[in-house]
Structure 1
Amino acid sequence: MSRTRRTDEGHGRVGSVLSGIAVALGCVLFLGGFVWGAIVYQPYTVPTDSMTPTIGAGDRVLAQRIDGSEVKRGDVVVFQTNSWGDLPLVKRVVGVGGDEIACCTDGKLTVNGKQIDEPYLPAGKNASLTGIKSTTVPEGRLFLLGDERNGSLDSTVHLGDSEHGSVERGAVQARVDAVAWPMDGMLAKPTGFEALPGGISRPGPLNLILTTVVAGAVLVLAGAAYGPIAKRARRPRAGAPEPVRA
């Protein structure tokens, strides 16, 4: 057997082992990413257009399962409470327990006297459409508004109740990270609330999960493709001289 042939076979065995490892690792990453995503995230279909243009009626969103105690101002949350109807709703948190909410100063929502920039509101409209009188959010509760402030069934509709239109933190089921369909991607950061005490929430691990799934798929495809490519590369070309045997 020629030295060249022995070298080629050695390289082939190493390549086969490496391709097998790539496929195995890829399967772990690909399936693990899906399992991770299923544990951390829950898909929801948004029933109304109260969150337009951020989220439209019928859009499918991915929401990270969290405890209500983790919610911060600016978060878009999925919640359910009997007083608002017996179905999951999606709204934006604009105030937490102890906050004084009012509208409007220069057409802007104010939280504890600070004007909040809300670039996610519909073009040509602003927070003045809510007409919120000054109210204090009870401790342990959240004040929620839709991004479409004109006619949204949100905390402003319930201002007259004993809890000043707020919802208990325990009613929150998840925090929306992204719009999956149509594929609008991750929600923009609510930077208008960033300077308030407690800041804003950091995005969940959705991007890392997607990267894990894609990396797994690439490894599986690359490992599976090695065999046919290597076999084709070792095949003698037409007209090529036969290797010299020892």
Structure 2
Amino acid sequence: MAVGARSGHGEPEERPQRPHPPAAAMTDDSTDRPDPAADSAGADGAGEGTGAGEGTGAGEDTGQDGHGPKKPRSFWKELPLLIGIALVLALLIKTFLVQAFSIPSDSMMNTLQRGDRVLVDKLTPWFGSEPERGEVVVFHDPGGWLEGEPTPQPNILQKALSFIGLMPSAEEKDLIKRVIAVGGDTVSCKEGGKVVVNGKELDETYLYPGSVPCDPAFGPVKVPKGRIWVMGDNRQNSLDSRFHMELAGGGTVSNDEVVGRAVVIAWPVTRWSTLPVPATFDQPGLNQALAAAPGAMGVAGGLPLVLWRRKKRAARHTAE
């Protein structure tokens, strides 16, 4: 019965009031007695909230050692790993894709000037591509071409950066020239005339101003299969195939010695440009092999038919 209810005689019944528990101990303002169900639920909730596999999420915000979230590694600790990855990628690119080379002489002016940096395609040779007429190629010294020439002496840092491809090649035994003729071609040049390949004169508009096509004259030279004949664009300042005809190969360079084709001038930025094949190398009839191919294929295709007809005719005469 609540405090203040009347008794059966109509007079209020006064009962001693029990002292209320301190305010801090009260859990429900509707009664002055604790609720067993609430106590039970609270106990259960407390048990669930402190379970090892469950919780309120506080355990998720802490590290495994319970001392807070795990801190990420600092930038300075990650830097050596990033540098290592970058060096490996640079080495792979230099080995299989492209490589930078520095132009050390004036033999390819004005197409290439001393100090230019060119990027050389090293990927296509891996797929069996061979040098073609008109391309500017980098190749290793076939033997004796650079004899007596001064060789650069790069320091250790330059050698290391060159090895991984972060600097132009420090290899002192490389040359860069233009392919004039390939295996199977016949090339020649008369004094005061133009270079002739397979009977076709080349219109070499890319030559250094004032440079004559051939001085001295040479040829005719039959280029062996698997080799190339190369010349510089600055003909009067280029020790190319013309000056090494007494060496093995007769002045030609093996395709195996070719590092790759120079495709672009990458530095300085004011000199940026591509290195396309000049139009004179696309003139009709220059490629004798392709010109003869249709006729050869026609003969090869018609020969079985001719033999079959002859055999059939002979069988008919035998039967008669």
Partners of 1:136 and 1:164 within 8 A in 2: no
Match of 1:126 in 2: 212
- Opposite residue 43 of structure 1, the aligned amino acid is A
Q: How does 1:95-244 map to 2 (within 5 A)?
A: 95-104=181-190, 107-183=193-269, 184=271, 185-195=273-283, 196-197=286-287
SS at match of 2:280: helix
Q: TM-score, normalised by structure 2?
A: 0.48
- Opposite residue 62 of structure 1, the aligned amino acid is L
Distance 1:122 1:76 in 2: 15
- Opposite residue 120 of structure 2, the aligned amino acid is A
- Opposite residue 280 of structure 2, the aligned amino acid is G
Q: Which has the higher contact order (CA 8 A, sep 6+)?
A: 1
Note the residue ranges of structure 2 that are not aligned, 5 or more in a row.
Answer: 1-85, 147-171, 291-320
Moved more, 60-69 or 90-99: 60-69
What are the Cα deviations for residues 133-187 of structure 1, in whole angstroms up to 9, with x where unaligned?
Answer: 3111111111010111003111011112342200100000110011112233112
Distance 2:193 2:253 in 1: 25
2:141 aligned residue (81, 93, 118): 81
Aligned length: 167
- 1:57 maps to 2:143: no
Work out the percentage of aligned pairs sharing the same amino acid. 38
Distance 1:82 1:94 in 2: 17
Shift of 1:49: 1.0
- Opposite residue 98 of structure 1, the aligned amino acid is G
Q: CA RMSD for the aligned pairs?
A: 2.6
Q: Call closer, same or farther: CA 1:60–1:143 in 2, change over 3 Å.
A: same
SS at match of 2:235: coil
Q: TM-score, normalised by structure 1?
A: 0.61
State which structure, 1 or 2, has the greater radius of gyration over its C-alpha atoms: 2
- Opposite residue 281 of structure 2, the aligned amino acid is F
Shift of 1:126: 2.5
SS at match of 1:192: helix
Distance 1:82 1:129 in 2: 22
Distance 1:96 1:161 in 2: 18
Note the residue ranges of structure 1 that are not aligned, 5 or more in a row.
Answer: 1-30, 200-246
What are the Cα deviations for residues 64-120 of structure 1, in whole angstroms up to 9, with x where unaligned?
Answer: 114274210011001003412361110000011111110138721100110011111
